[in-house]
């Protein structure tokens, strides 16, 4: 007779491609942070067919490994969401820029909201990255926030906690990293309770960044257009009511 799995409060979700070196450091830190928080939790790694032993490192440190089925950040994120069992889902970059010591502050804020964003762009937040990347990030966030009238300053931050029940009601269609502002915008426009917590962002320690803003510019434009249409429809429904 099989025992009934215990309910999971928090799922920690990591997307990884050739991140073995960073995961050797990150996963023990995550385990330590989760133990200190005293929550029933799980850690999942969606592995994009890494050639450096990423999956082996993740398994050795007790994570559940999910082989990526479709290439691309957005597809891997959706796959990871579907595999998570927790009431809350915490998304963490594999590159050590999202520090586990901050998990507790995010989780405390998540108790009565649907989305918590570790934000570089609210008072007290910082972004230690090259000027060119910082400018692009600021422009992207400002355009999305103002055109969609969404009260979130860091729509592109991937360091977040989602309430799983709310997340499953959305249908994000982003193709790449544009899925991040899409989820935050659609959630906010759908009535999500969203809160930002100031965060001191620091760049990756090892490996190579997978984010390429200019290459994904058409995807961001398509996502912005889709969100704008969603906003127009939501505004029309409210006006009709």
Q: Is residue 191 part of a domain?
A: yes
Please report, for the domain that includes residue 189, its CATH number.
3.90.550.10
Q: Is residue 193 part of a domain?
A: yes
Compare 130 and 240 and report the one with higher pLDDT. Answer: 130
Q: 115 to each of 1, 56, 58, 120, 188, how far by Cα in Å?
A: 38, 31, 26, 16, 9
pLDDT at residue 223 in the model: 96
Span 41-75, pLDDT tens digits: 999 999 999 999 999 999 999 999 999 999 999 99
Q: Is residue 114 part of a domain?
A: yes
Q: What percent helix, strand, coil does the chain show, rounded to 5?
A: 45, 20, 40
pLDDT at residue 214 in the model: 62
Q: Is residue 116 part of a domain?
A: yes
Q: Is residue 4 part of a domain?
A: no
Q: Is residue 120 part of a domain?
A: yes
User: How many beta carbons lie within 10 A of that of residue 8, not counting itself?
Assistant: 17
pLDDT at residue 6 in the model: 75
Pairing, β 115-119 against β 194-198? parallel
* Domains identified in the chain, total number: 1
* All residues at 6 or more sequence positions from 103 whose CB lies less than 8 Å from its CB, including other chains: 12, 30, 33, 34, 37, 90
What does the mean pLDDT of the chain come to? Answer: 92
pLDDT at residue 134 in the model: 86
Residue indicated by tokens 């429809």: 233
Sheet holding 194-198, edge to edge: 64-67, 41-47, 10-16, 88-93, 160-163, 115-119, 194-198
Q: What is the mean predicted confidence (pLDDT) over 195-202?
A: 93
Question: How would you label 109-147 residue by residue, b for 16+ Cβ within 10 Å and e otherwise?
Answer: bbeebbbbbbbbbbeebebebeeeeeebbbebbeebbee
Q: Is residue 100 part of a domain?
A: yes
pLDDT at residue 128 in the model: 84
Nearest to 107, CA basis, from 122, 89, 121, 92: 89
Span 142-195, pLDDT tens digits: 999 999 999 999 999 999 999 999 999 999 999 999 999 999 999 999 999 999
The residue range of the domain holding 124 is 10-240
Which residues, listed in sequence order, are joined to residue 46 by a DSSP beta bridge?
15, 66
Span 75-134, pLDDT tens digits: 999 999 999 999 999 999 999 999 999 999 999 999 899 999 999 999 999 988 888 888
Q: 213 to each of 33, 133, 156, 221, how far by Cα in Å?
A: 32, 8, 11, 11
CA distance 109 to 106: 5
Nearest to 120, CA basis, from 112, 110, 136: 136
Residue indicated by tokens 């320690």: 205
pLDDT at residue 207 in the model: 47
| Cβ atoms 101, 202 nearer than 8 A | no
pLDDT at residue 198 in the model: 96
pLDDT at residue 85 in the model: 97
Handedness of CA 65, 77, 84, 31 (dihedral sign): positive
Residue indicated by tokens 């426009």: 189
pLDDT at residue 174 in the model: 95
Residue 3 has pLDDT above 70, yes or no: no
pLDDT at residue 161 in the model: 98
Q: Is residue 1 part of a domain?
A: no
């Amino acid at each position: 007779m099989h025992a009934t799995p215990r309910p999971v409060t928090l799922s920690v979700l990591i997307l990884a491609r050739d991140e073995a070196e960073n995961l050797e450091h990150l996963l023990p830190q995550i385990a330590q942070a989760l133990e200190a928080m005293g929550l029933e939790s799980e850690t999942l790694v969606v592995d994009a067919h890494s050639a450096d032993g990423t999956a082996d490192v993740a398994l050795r440190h007790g994570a559940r490994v999910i082989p990526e089925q479709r290439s691309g950040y957005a597809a891997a994120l959706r796959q990871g969401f579907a595999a998570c069992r927790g009431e809350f889902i915490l998304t963490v970059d594999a590159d050590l820029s999202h520090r586990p010591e901050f998990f507790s502050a995010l989780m405390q804020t998540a108790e009565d909201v649907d989305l918590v964003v570790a934000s570089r762009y609210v008072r007290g937040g910082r972004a230690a990255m090259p000027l060119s990347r910082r400018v692009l990030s600021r422009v992207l966030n400002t355009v999305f926030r103002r055109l969609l009238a969404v009260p979130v300053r860091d729509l592109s931050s991937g360091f977040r906690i989602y309430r799983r029940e709310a997340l499953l009601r959305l249908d994000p269609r982003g193709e790449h990293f544009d899925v991040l502002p899409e989820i935050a915008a659609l959630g906010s426009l759908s009535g999500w309770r969203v809160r930002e917590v100031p965060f001191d962002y620091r760049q990756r320690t090892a490996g190579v960044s997978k984010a390429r803003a200019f290459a994904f510019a058409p995807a961001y434009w398509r996502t912005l257009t889709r969100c704008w249409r969603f906003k127009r429809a939501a505004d029309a429904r409210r006006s009709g009511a």
